[in-house]
Every structure is written in structure tokens, then in C-alpha cells.
Amino acid sequence: MSTPDRLIEATQELLWERGYVGMSPKAIQQHAGAGQGSMYHHFSGKPDLALTAIRRTAAGMREAAARTFDSPGTAYERISHYLLRERDVLRGCPVGRLTMDPEVIASDELRAPVDETIAWLRGRLAEIVQEGLDDGEFVPGLIADDVAATIVATVQGGYVLARASGTADAFDAAVRGLLALLGPAPGEPSRRTP
């Protein structure tokens, strides 16, 4: 792996583990096995490296979600697969956790990929919910954008509850509750399949 890639991966890991505030250039260099000169040869400093790492993390998160969203199945099935996919729940969301970092939130540049990723996620989920509404899977009258916001809030809030309790049970309960609320429309014995 190239030195820039090692630095980016180390920064991704440290951002997830410690956040921007808790991550020093020295820790990045040690984690990457790279010297100070290498870091500053490839990146102008901690903000530049962090921005690159945040963008890469955000892109990875979008790619993983897109694979689920673009898979075959009903809207409910795709949402269910997204909610139930394997996650490191106790570590939290590598993108969502950045919203709790005061330096990331204070920087328009560092915050932008976080905001863009969450907006993309909400948009894709709203499209899928609208498909489900159009196909009669969900209770008529639901607002796709609102349901998408609820799904994102459930996942992000589930991470917080799980981290606070030290167990994934709270995350799992939130997901089960949301899936129960998104159940079939009244009078619908089961979901349609494509």
C-alpha cells in the first residue's frame, strides 16, 4: 500500500475512533508507519488529510448502501436489508459520529462530505419509500421524505443508544420497531414482489 493510502486509512480509523479533535498528526503518522516528512509531502496538513479521509469514508458508506438499495426486492425488503445489514454498532457510524466533533462542524469544508452523504442517504431512501407507496406496499398518506428522515434518525440514534448502553440490543430494538411500523398497508396480506 502506498504511503498516502496508509496515511488516509490511518486517518479514517482515527477519525472513527477518536474524532478530529482527538487525532494528532503524530498519532496519524504512528498509526500509518509514516514519517512527518511523508505526511507533509503528500498532504498540506491535518485538515487536508482529514478531508481526504472523510471523503473516502463517505464514499465507502454510499457504495455499501447503494449495493443494498439497488438490489432486487420490494421497497420494504431493501429498506429491511439496509437496516439489518451487519454493522459495528458499538463503534457507531464513521460518518455520523463526525457530527459530534466540534471542529468538523465548525469547518464548512470538513462538514460538507458529512452533510452530502446524509443528504444522499435520505434522498435514496425517499426514492425507495416512494416506490413502495406507488406499489401499495406502505400505508397511503406517508410522506416519503419524512419516512426517509425517520430511517436515518433511527440508525444514527440507534448507534447512540447502543454506545451508551454498551450493547447492540438498543440498536436492534429500534430497527425492529421501525420495521414493524413500516409493515404492510391495512388489508395487504403480504408484500408484493417484483
CATH of residue 72: 1.10.357.10
> What is the domain extent for residue 80?
3-181
pLDDT, tens digit only, all 194 positions of the chain: 899 999 999 999 999 999 998 899 999 999 999 988 888 889 998 999 999 999 999 999 999 999 999 999 999 999 999 999 999 999 999 999 999 999 999 999 999 999 999 999 999 999 999 999 999 999 999 999 999 999 999 999 999 999 999 999 999 999 999 999 998 655 544 443 33
SS3 86: coil
Q: How far is CA 82 from CA 26, 27, 68, 71, 159, in A?
A: 37, 34, 6, 10, 14
- Map grid coordinates 433511527 to a residue: 154
Say if 42 falls within a structural domain. Answer: yes
State residue 3's pLDDT score. Answer: 92
- Residue of 141, 138, 140, 120 lying closest to 178 (CA atoms): 138
Say if 190 falls within a structural domain. Answer: no
- Residue of 12, 10, 9, 21 lying closest to 107 (CA atoms): 21
Tell me how far the alpha carbon of residue 86 is from its chain's centroid: 12
Per the structure, the count of domains in the chain is: 1
Global pTM reads 0.88
CB atoms within 10 A of CB 134: 11
- Map grid coordinates 406507488 to a residue: 134
Say if 145 falls within a structural domain. Answer: yes
- Residue of 147, 23, 182, 12 lying closest to 93 (CA atoms): 12
